[in-house]
C-alpha cells in the first residue's frame, strides 16, 4: 500500500537545515555541534519511524514538486532504500560525536565548513537511498559529489588540492556519462521510475545499445564504489580528516556508489534483461578482479588509513559482485553487505583516527605495542578486522555467506574461490596490526603517556563494534535490516529467493 | 492603463533616459533615481504583461502604436515567451542600475546622468527588440541597444574604449547585414510586419533569395549574439566594459539577438522549410563548435571577467544547439537557458564587480580565502558556477536536461556528447575558481573601498548579488512551472501536437 507522507523529505531536509544553521553559528562551536547532533538524532528518528510500515509491505511516497515538466521530485521508501537510509542515518549519530572529539582533539581549522558539508553529505545519502526515480537519484548523487569535495580538500595543502581535483575528475566525468544514460533511458522507456525487476526490456533497443547504456550508467556507480580500475580517487582522498574517511569509506560516498549499482541492476535494467544481454558478467569479472587486487595492494601499505582504503575498495566490490551475479541470494547478500561493511569499516576508520589523535601515529610500523595503551580501541579494531575477513558471529559473515550461496545458485563456484581468497588476504593485511599492537614490545619506549582516546571518540567506536557482533548473531536486531535486504532481493527477483542464512 | 503595458515598458526608460542628464544637472543623485524608478516601473509593467498574457491562455496580445493598424502601422506582439524574456531584461536592468550606484559615487553630474541615460536606453533597445512585431522596428531597437552598449563599454576606461570601437565596427556590419536581409524580404513581399511576412513568405520559402536572407540573418544575429565564429568582439567588450554595467551587458545583450533568431526561424519562416532546416543545422554546428572552443578558451584565462566572456560564447552555443535541434524540448531548453544564463552570467559579473569594487582585483589566482571576507558573494559565485556547469539543483542543469531530451527526441546524439563534454570543460574552469577561493592561502588583498560596518559590500550591491543567487536556485526548483505555465503556452503550435 502506498502512503502519502512527507517524512522522507523531512529526513532529507533536517540535515540540510542543520547545514544552514551550522554555517551561521560558526562563532559558537558548542551551538554548532549541537545542530549536528540534533540533526543526526532527528534524522535517524524519522527514518526508523518508517521502518515498521515498510516491513509490513507499505511504501511511503511523496512528490515535493515537479522536477521537469514530466517528472516528479519524488522520494519513496521501498525496502532497498530503507535499508541504506537506516544505515546512513544511524551511523551519522556515532560519527557526528566522533567528529566532534576528533576535530577538537586534533585542533583542525575550518570546522564550520567541515560540519556543514558533513550534514549536506548525509542529506544527499538519504536522498539517494529514498529516490523514487532516476532523475531525483541523479540530483542527490551530484549533490553528494559536490558536498564531499570540500571535505576532501579540507587540509588546504597541495596534497589535498590534488586529491580534490582527482576526486572531482573521477566523479564528475562518470556523473555526466550517467546523465547522458538517463536521458537515453528516458527516451527508450518513457519513464524513469524505479521498478523492482527493472523497467527496460530487450525489445526496446538493439542489444549493443543496451549493453553500452548499462556500462556508461554503471560507471557512475562503479567510480564511487571504487571498482578497479576506477578506484584511483579513493586512496588519495585519504588526506581528508578521519571522520571524513569514516564517512566516505563506510557510509556515504562509496556506499552510494554501491547502492547505485544495485539500483541500476535491480530497478532499472533488471536481472532478466542483464542476463539476456550478458552485461552483468563483465561487471562481475571486474568486481572479482578488484576484490583480489585491492587486497594485494592493501598488504603493501604502511599507512593505516591507506591500507583501510584499499580494503574498502575490495569490500565494496563484494556488493558489486553480489549484484552482478544476479542470483537472489547474492543480491540479498549485497544489500546486507552494505550494512555489514558500513559497521565494520566505520569502526576500523574510527580506530585509526583515535590512534592519530591520541598517539599521533599514521603508520603501522610505528604502532608496536600500542595495544597495551589503548586496549579498548585495539580490541574493537580486532573485532572489526575479523568481521571483514568473514568470521562467523560477526556481521560480515552473513553477507559473505549469502553472496557465496548466490554464486552457487547461478552455478559459478569460481566466485566462491574469490571470496575465500579475499577472506584470507583480509586476515593477512588486517591482523598483523593487532599482532603488532598487542604482542610486540614497544622498542623505543613510546606510548607511556598516552591512554585511550577521549570519550567522544571511544564510545562511538565501542558502539559500532558491539553492533557488528550483535548483528552478526541476530541479523534482525533493531530495524530488521536482514528482513529489509531479503524483501529487496525478493522484489527484484520476483519472489524466488531460495534458502539463505 | 493595463492595456498600455507593452508600450510603457519601452516608454518609461526612454523618457528617463532623456531626462536623466537634466535631473543630474539639477541634483546629482536625481538622475540616478529617475532611471531606477523608470526601470522599476518598466519591470512592474512587464510582470503585469506576463500575467495578462498567461491569464489569456497564451493568446498573443497585439498593441498598435498610435492605433495605426498593421501592416501599415507598427505593432508590439506579446506572447508568453517574449513576455517572460522582457520581464527578465527589465529585472536585470533594474537590479544592475541599483547595483552600479556605488561605482558612480565620486562621478560628476554629467557622468552620472550620461551613464543612466545609456543604461536606460540599453533596456529600451533590448525590450523593444523582444516585443516588436515589425522587422524594421526591430532594426531600430537593435541599433538603440547597440549604440548604448558601445557607450557603456567605452565607459570602462581606455581599454574599454578600444573594445567598444572594435565592437562598433563589427556590430555595425552585423546591423547592416540585418538591414540587407529585411530589404530582401521587403522586396519579395512588400511588407515589414512579422505576422504579415509569415503569411506572405510561405510560398516563397524555396526561392534562392531565401538562402541569402537566412544566411544574412545568421550572420547578423550571430555577430550580435557573439555566436562562434562571430564572437571576436565579445571577450574584450565584456572584460573592459564599465564594471557596473557588465551584468546587464553580459546577461541580456547577447540573449536578445538569440531570441530574435528563434523568432525569425520558428515563427516567421517555419522550421519545416528546407532552407530553414539547413540554416538551423549551420547554427547548430556553429553552436557546438562555440561550446567546445569557448570552454577551452575560458580554461586558459586568469582574468575572471575574460573567463566569463569566453564562457558566454559557450553558453550561447547551448542556446544555438537548442534552436538547431528544433523540437519542442530543444526550444524549451533554449528559452529556459536564455533566462537561466542571463541570471547566472549576470550574477557572476556582479560578484566579480563587487570584488573589483572592494579590492580592485579580478584575477582568479588572487581570490584565495575570499569566502572569509565576502561569504555572500562567494555563495552566489558557487551557485552560479554550479548552474553554469549544470549541476542540480541550480537552474542551468535543467536547461541542459531539456536540450539533451530534445536531442534524444530527434536522434541528434552528437549534441548530447557535445553537452556532456561541455559540462566537463565548464567544470574545469568553474571548479578551478572555487578551488582558488577555498584552498588558496589568503591573497592579502588591499581594500580600496573599505565598507562601513560588518557588511562585505554596500547594500545596493549586496542585495542584487544575493538575490540573483537565490533566483538561480529558484529557477532550478520552479523550472517545471516556468516550462508548463509560460514557455509551452508560447511555443509554435506544431510542436505541441
In a domain, A254, yes or no: yes
**Residue B497 confidence (pLDDT):** 45
Q: Which of B386, B409, B480 has its CB closest to that of A146?
A: B386
| Extents of the domains making up chain B | 2-495
> How crowded is residue B353: how many other Cβ atoms within 10 Å of its Cβ?
27
Q: Which residues, 6 or more positions from A310, have their beta carbon under 8 angstroms from its beta carbon?
A: A235, A294, A295, A297, A298, A301
Q: Which of B332, B391, B431 has its CB closest to that of A142?
A: B391
Eight-class DSSP state of A369: T
Confidence of residue B495 (pLDDT cuts 50, 70, 90): low
- Shortest Cα–Cα distance, A153 to chain B (Å): 7
Count of domains forming chain A? 1
Answer whether residue A498 shows pLDDT above 60: no
- pLDDT over 70 percentage in chain B: 98
**Rounded average pLDDT over B486-494:** 75
Within 13 Å and on the Cβ side, how many CA atoms surround A182? 26
Q: Which residues, 6 or more positions from A479, have their beta carbon under 8 angstroms from its beta carbon?
A: A48, A51, A86
Task: Give the tens place of pLDDT for each residue, A431-443.
Answer: 888 888 888 777 6
Confidence of residue A447 (pLDDT cuts 50, 70, 90): low
CB contact under 8 A, B439 and A160: yes
Residue A364: enclosing H or E segment and its boundaries?
none
What's the CA gap between B134 and A12, in Å, rounded? 52
Partner residues linked to A133 by β-bridges: A193
CB-count exposure of residue A275 (10 Å: 0-12, 13-18, 19+): middle
Q: Which residues of A touch B405 (CB under 8 A)?
A: 183, 186-187
Q: Which residues of B touch A164 (CB under 8 A)?
A: 435, 439
CB contact under 8 A, A173 and B479: no
In a domain, A497, yes or no: no
Q: Which residues of A touch B402 (CB under 8 A)?
A: 68
Q: Which residues of B touch A149 (CB under 8 A)?
A: 431
Asked if residue B103 lies in contact with residue B248, where contact means CB atoms within 8 angstroms, the answer is no
What's the CA gap between B234 and B290, in Å, rounded? 13
Q: Which residues of B touch A179 (CB under 8 A)?
A: 401, 404, 420
Confidence of residue A450 (pLDDT cuts 50, 70, 90): low
Q: Which residues of A touch B470 (CB under 8 A)?
A: none
Q: Which residues, 6 or more positions from B106, have their beta carbon under 8 angstroms from its beta carbon?
A: none
Task: Give the tens place of pLDDT for each residue, A210-267.
Answer: 898 998 888 888 888 888 888 888 888 887 787 777 776 667 788 899 999 988 888 8
Answer whether residue A195 shows pLDDT above 90: no
CB contact under 8 A, B435 and A68: no
Find the radius of gyration of the CA atoms of chain A.
21
Q: Which residues, 6 or more positions from A463, have their beta carbon under 8 angstroms from its beta carbon?
A: A94
Among chain B residues, CA nearest to A64: B477
> How crowded is residue A151: how many other Cβ atoms within 10 Å of its Cβ?
26
What's the CA gap between A298 and A311, in Å, rounded? 6
Asked if residue A232 lies in contact with residue A153, where contact means CB atoms within 8 angstroms, the answer is no
Of B1-5, B7-11, B41-45, B74-78, the one with minimum mean pLDDT is B1-5
**Residue A500 confidence (pLDDT):** 46
What's the CA gap between A493 and A499, in Å, rounded? 14
Answer whether residue B44 shows pLDDT above 90: yes
Full domain range(s) for residue A273: 2-492
User: Rounded to the nearest 5°, which phi and psi values hold at B227?
Assistant: -75, 135
From A419, A282, A304, A310, select the one nearest A352 (Cα to Cα): A304
**Residue A448 confidence (pLDDT):** 59
Q: Which residues of A touch B386 (CB under 8 A)?
A: 146
Q: Which of A65, A145, A153 has its CB closest to that of B477?
A: A65
**Rounded average pLDDT over B190-216:** 88
Reduce the secondary structure of chain B to three states and give it as a string: CHHHHHHHHHHHHHHHHHHHHHHHHHCCCHHHHHHHHHHHHHHHHHHHHHHHHHHCCCCCEEEEHHHCCCCCCCEEEECHHHHHHHHHHHHHHHHHHHHCHHHHCCCCHHHHHHHHHHHHHHHHHHHHHHHECEHHHHHHHHHHHHHHHHHHHHCCCHHHHHHHHHHHHHHHHHHHHHHHHHHHHHHHHCCCEHHHHHHHCHHHCCCHHHHHHHHHHHHHHHHHHCCCCCCCCHHHHHHHCCCCCHHHHHHHHCHHHHHHHHHHHHHHHCCCCHHHHHHHHHHHHHHHHHHHHHHHHHHCCCEHHHHHHHHHHHHHHHHHHHHHHCCHHHHHHHHHHHHHHHHHHHHHHHHHHHHHHHHCCCEHHHCCCHHHHCHHHHHHHHHHHHHHHCCCCCHHHHHHHHHHHHHHHCCCHHHHHHHHHHHHHHHHHHHHHHHHHHHCCCCCCCCCCCCCCCCCCCHHHHHHHHHHHHHHHHHHHCHHHHHHHHHHHHCCHHHCC
Q: Which residues of A touch B392 (CB under 8 A)?
A: 138-139, 142-143
Which chain A residues have any C-beta within 8 angstroms of a chain B C-beta?
65-69, 135, 138-139, 142-143, 145-146, 149-150, 153, 156, 160-161, 164-165, 168, 172-173, 176-177, 179-180, 183-184, 186-187
pTM of the full structure:
0.91
**Residue B453 confidence (pLDDT):** 66
In a domain, A501, yes or no: no
CB contact under 8 A, B484 and A69: yes
Edge-to-edge strand ranges of the sheet holding A59-66: A2-4, A59-66, A72-76
User: Rounded to the nearest 5°, which phi and psi values hold at B119?
Assistant: -60, -45
Among chain B residues, CA nearest to A167: B431
**Rounded average pLDDT over B366-383:** 87
Asked if residue B238 lies in contact with residue B294, where contact means CB atoms within 8 angstroms, the answer is no
Task: Give the tens place of pLDDT for each residue, B341-360.
Answer: 999 999 999 999 988 888 88
How far lies B123's CA from each of B87, B138, B149, in Å? 11, 14, 10
Q: Which residues, 6 or more positions from B174, have their beta carbon under 8 angstroms from its beta carbon?
A: B219, B220, B221, B222, B223, B224, B230
CB contact under 8 A, A168 and B481: no
Task: Give the tens place of pLDDT for each residue, B217-254.
Answer: 999 999 998 888 888 888 989 999 888 899 999 888 88
Q: Which of B420, B431, B481 has its CB closest to that of A177?
A: B420
Task: Give the tens place of pLDDT for each residue, B26-36.
Answer: 888 888 899 99
Among chain B residues, CA nearest to A140: B392
Q: How does the average pLDDT of chain B come out, rounded? A: 88
Q: Which of B401, B417, B438 has its CB closest to that of A68?
A: B401
What's the CA gap between A183 and B390, in Å, rounded? 14
User: Rounded to the nearest 5°, which phi and psi values hold at A56?
Assistant: -80, 5
From B78, B75, B20, select the one nearest B46 (Cα to Cα): B78
Q: Which residues of B touch A177 (CB under 8 A)?
A: 420
Question: Do the bridges between strand A72-76 and strand A59-66 make them parallel or antiparallel, or are there none, so unpaired?
Answer: antiparallel
**Rounded average pLDDT over A344-358:** 86
- Shortest Cα–Cα distance, B438 to chain A (Å): 8
- Shortest Cα–Cα distance, A160 to chain B (Å): 9
Pure H helices in A106-191? 111-130, 134-152, 158-189
Number of residues in chain B = 497
Among chain A residues, CA nearest to B488: A69
> How crowded is residue B360: how many other Cβ atoms within 10 Å of its Cβ?
12
What's the CA gap between A450 and A355, in Å, rounded? 10
How far lies B153's CA from each of B147, B168, B311, in Å? 10, 10, 19
What's the CA gap between B44 and B8, in Å, rounded? 10
Q: How does the average pLDDT of chain A come out, rounded? A: 85
Task: Give the tens place of pLDDT for each residue, A53-93.
Answer: 888 888 888 888 888 778 888 888 888 888 899 888 888 88
What's the CA gap between A15 and A124, in Å, rounded? 9
From A60, A182, A189, A185, select the one nearest A132 (Cα to Cα): A60
Task: Identify which of A290-304, A376-390, A393-407, B136-150 has the greatest average pLDDT.
Answer: B136-150
Answer whether residue A453 shows pLDDT above 80: no
What's the CA gap between A142 and A139, in Å, rounded? 5
Q: Which residues of B touch A183 (CB under 8 A)?
A: 401, 404-405, 408, 416
CB contact under 8 A, B408 and A183: yes
CB contact under 8 A, A68 and B427: no
Asked if residue A53 lies in contact with residue A8, where contact means CB atoms within 8 angstroms, the answer is no
Among chain A residues, CA nearest to B336: A68
Angle subtended by helix axes B459-477 and B375-389, to nearest 10: 30
> How crowded is residue B263: how many other Cβ atoms within 10 Å of its Cβ?
23
The ipTM value here is 0.89
SS3 (DSSP) at A441: coil
Among chain B residues, CA nearest to A137: B392
CB contact under 8 A, A183 and B420: no
**Rounded average pLDDT over A374-403:** 87
Question: Do the bridges between strand B61-64 and strand A2-4 make them parallel or antiparallel, or are there none, so unpaired?
Answer: unpaired
Asked if residue B13 lies in contact with residue B124, where contact means CB atoms within 8 angstroms, the answer is yes
Of A464-478, B81-95, B125-139, the one with minimum mean pLDDT is A464-478
User: Rounded to the nearest 5°, which phi and psi values hold at B138?
Assistant: -60, -40
CB contact under 8 A, B405 and A176: no
- Shortest Cα–Cα distance, A66 to chain B (Å): 6
Answer whether residue A444 shows pLDDT above 80: no
Task: Give the tens place of pLDDT for each residue, B119-162.
Answer: 999 999 999 999 998 899 999 999 999 999 999 999 888 888 99
Answer whether residue A497 shows pLDDT above 60: no
Amino acid at each position: 500500500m502506498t502512503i502519502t507522507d512527507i517524512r522522507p523529505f523531512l529526513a532529507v531536509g533536517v540535515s540540510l537545515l542543520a547545514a544552514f544553521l551550522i554555517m551561521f553559528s560558526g562563532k559558537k562551536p558548542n551551538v554548532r555541534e549541537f545542530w549536528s547532533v540534533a540533526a543526526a538524532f532527528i534524522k535517524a528518528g524519522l527514518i526508523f519511524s518508517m521502518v515498521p510500515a515498510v516491513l509490513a509491505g507499505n511504501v511511503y511516497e511523496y512528490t515535493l514538486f515537479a522536477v521537469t515538466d514530466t517528472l516528479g521530485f519524488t522520494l519513496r521508501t521501498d525496502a532497498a532504500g530503507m535499508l541504506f537510509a537506516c544505515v546512513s542515518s544511524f551511523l551519522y549519530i556515532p560519527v557526528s560525536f566522533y567528529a566532534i572529539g576528533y576535530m577538537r582533539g586534533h585542533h583542525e581549522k575550518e570546522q564550520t565548513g567541515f560540519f556543514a558539508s558533513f550534514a549536506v553529505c548525509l542529506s544527499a545519502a538519504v536522498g539517494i537511498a529514498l529516490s523514487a526515480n532516476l532523475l531525483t537519484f541523479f540530483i542527490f548523487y551530484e549533490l553528494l559529489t559536490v558536498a564531499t569535495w570540500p571535505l576532501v580538500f579540507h587540509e588546504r595543502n597541495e596534497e589535498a588540492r590534488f586529491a580534490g581535483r582527482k576526486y572531482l575528475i573521477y566523479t564528475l566525468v562518470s556523473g555526466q556519462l550517467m546523465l547522458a544514460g538517463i536521458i537515453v533511458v528516458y527516451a527508450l522507456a518513457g519513464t524513469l521510475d524505479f521498478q523492482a525487476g527493472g523497467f527496460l526490456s530487450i525489445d526496446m533497443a538493439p542489444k549493443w545499445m543496451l549493453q553500452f547504456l548499462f556500462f556508461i550508467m554503471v560507471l557512475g556507480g562503479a567510480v564511487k564504489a571504487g571498482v578497479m580500475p576506477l578506484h584511483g580517487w579513493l586512496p588519495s582522498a585519504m588526506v581528508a580528516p578521519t571522520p571524513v574517511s569514516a564517512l566516505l569509506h563506510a557510509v556515504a560516498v562509496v556506499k552510494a556508489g554501491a547502492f547505485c549499482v544495485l539500483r541500476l541492476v535491480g530497478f532499472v535494467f533488471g536481472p532478466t534483461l542483464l542476463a539476456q544481454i550478458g552485461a552483468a558478467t563483465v561487471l562481475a569479472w571486474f568486481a572479482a578482479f578488484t576484490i583480489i587486487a585491492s587486497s594485494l595492494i592493501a598488504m603493501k601499505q604502511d599507512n593505516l588509513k591507506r591500507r583501510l582504503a584499499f580494503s574498502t575498495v575490495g569490500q565494496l566490490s563484494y556488493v558489486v559482485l553480489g549484484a552482478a551475479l544476479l542470483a537472489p541470494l547474492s543480491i540479498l547478500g549485497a544489500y546486507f553487505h552494505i550494512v555489514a561493511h558500513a559497521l565494520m569499516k566505520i569502526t576500523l576508520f574510527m580506530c585509526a583516527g583515535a590512534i592519530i589523535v591520541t598517539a599521533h601515529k599514521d603508520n603501522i610500523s610505528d604502532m608496536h605495542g600500542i595495544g597495551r595503551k589503548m586496549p579498548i580501541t585495539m580490541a574493537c579494531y580486532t573485532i572489526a578486522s575479523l568481521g571483514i575477513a568473514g568470521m562467523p558471529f560477526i556481521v560480515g559473515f552473513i553477507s559473505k555467506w549469502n553472496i557465496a550461496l548466490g554464486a552457487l545458485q547461478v552455478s559459478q563456484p569460481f566466485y566462491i574461490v574469490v571470496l575465500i581468497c579475499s577472506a584470507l588476504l583480509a586476515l593477512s593485511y588486517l591482523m598483523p596490526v593487532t599482532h603488532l599492537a598487542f604482542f610486540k614490545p614497544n622498542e623505543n619506549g613510546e606510548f607511556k603517556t598516552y591512554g585511550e582516546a577521549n570519550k567522544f571518540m571511544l564510545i562511538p567506536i565501542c558502539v559500532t563494534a558491539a553492533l557488528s557482533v550483535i548483528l552478526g548473531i541476530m541479523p534482525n536486531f533493531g530495524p530488521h535490516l536482514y528482513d529489509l535486504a531479503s524483501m529487496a532481493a525478493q522484489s527484484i527477483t520476483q519472489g524466488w529467493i531460495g534458502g539463505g542464512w | 492603463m493595463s492595456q498600455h503595458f507593452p508600450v510603457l515598458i519601452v516608454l518609461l526608460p526612454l523618457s528617463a533616459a532623456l531626462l536623466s542628464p537634466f535631473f543630474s544637472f539639477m541634483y546629482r543623485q536625481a538622475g540616478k533615481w529617475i532611471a531606477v524608478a523608470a526601470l522599476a516601473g518598466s519591470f512592474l509593467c512587464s510582470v503585469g504583461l506576463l500575467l495578462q498574457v498567461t491569464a489569456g491562455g497564451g493568446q498573443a496580445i497585439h498593441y498598435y502604436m498610435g492605433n495605426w493598424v498593421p501592416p501599415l502601422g507598427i505593432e508590439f506582439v506579446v506572447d508568453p515567451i517574449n513576455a517572460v524574456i522582457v520581464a527578465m531584461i527589465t529585472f536585470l536592468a533594474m537590479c544592475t542600475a541599483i547595483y552600479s550606484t556605488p561605482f558612480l559615487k565620486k562621478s560628476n553630474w554629467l557622468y552620472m546622468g550620461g551613464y543612466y541615460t545609456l543604461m536606460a536606453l540599453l533596456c529600451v533597445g533590448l525590450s523593444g527588440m523582444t516585443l516588436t512585431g515589425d522587422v524594421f522596428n526591430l532594426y531600430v531597437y537593435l541599433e538603440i541597444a547597440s549604440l548604448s552598449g558601445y557607450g557603456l563599454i567605452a565607459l570602462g576606461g581606455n581599454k574599454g574604449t578600444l573594445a567598444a570601437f572594435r565592437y562598433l565596427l563589427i556590430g555595425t556590419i552585423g546591423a547592416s547585414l540585418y538591414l540587407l536581409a529585411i530589404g530582401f524580404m521587403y522586396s519579395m513581399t512588400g511588407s515589414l510586419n512579422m505576422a504579415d511576412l509569415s503569411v506572405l513568405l510561405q510560398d516563397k520559402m524555396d526561392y534562392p533569395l531565401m538562402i541569402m536572407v537566412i544566411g544574412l540573418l545568421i550572420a547578423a544575429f550571430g555577430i550580435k549574439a557573439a555566436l562562434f565564429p562571430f564572437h571576436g568582439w565579445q571577450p574584450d567588450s565584456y572584460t573592459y566594459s564599465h564594471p557596473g554595467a557588465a551584468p546587464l551587458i553580459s546577461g541580456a545583450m547577447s540573449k536578445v539577438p538569440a531570441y530574435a533568431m528563434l523568432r525569425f526561424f520558428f515563427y516567421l519562416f517555419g522550421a519545416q522549410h528546407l532552407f530553414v532546416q539547413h540554416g538551423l543545422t549551420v547554427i547548430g554546428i556553429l553552436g557546438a563548435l562555440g561550446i567546445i572552443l569557448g570552454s577551452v578558451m575560458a580554461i586558459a584565462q586568469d582574468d575572471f571577467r575574460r573567463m566569463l566572456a569566453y564562457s558566454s560564447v559557450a553558453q550561447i552555443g547551448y542556446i544555438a544547439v537548442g534552436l538547431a535541434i528544433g523540437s519542442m524540448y530543444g526550444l524549451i531548453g533554449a528559452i529556459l537557458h536564455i533566462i537561466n544564463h542571463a541570471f547566472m552570467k549576470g550574477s557572476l559579473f556582479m560578484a566579480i564587480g563587487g570584488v573589483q569594487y572592494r579590492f580592485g582585483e579580478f584575477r582568479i589566482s588572487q581570490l584565495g580565502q575570499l569566502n572569509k571576507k565576502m561569504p555572500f558573494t562567494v555563495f552566489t559565485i558557487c551557485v552560479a558556477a554550479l548552474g553554469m556547469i549544470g549541476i542540480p539543483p541550480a537552474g542551468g542543469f535543467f536547461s541542459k536536461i531539456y536540450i539533451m531530451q530534445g536531442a534524444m527526441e530527434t536522434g541528434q546524439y552528437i549534441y548530447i556528447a557535445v553537452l556532456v563534454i561541455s559540462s566537463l570543460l565548464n567544470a574545469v574552469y568553474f571548479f578551478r575558481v572555487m578551488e582558488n577561493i577555498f584552498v588558496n592561502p589568503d591573497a592579502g588583498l588591499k581594500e580600496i573601498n573599505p565598507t562601513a560596518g560588518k557588511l562585505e559590500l554596500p547594500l545596493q550591491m549586496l542585495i542584487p548579488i544575493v538575490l540573483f543567487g537565490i533566483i538561480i536556485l529558484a529557477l532550478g526548483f520552479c523550472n517545471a512551472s516556468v516550462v508548463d505555465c509560460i514557455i509551452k503556452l508560447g511555443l509554435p503550435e506544431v510542436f505541441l501536437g
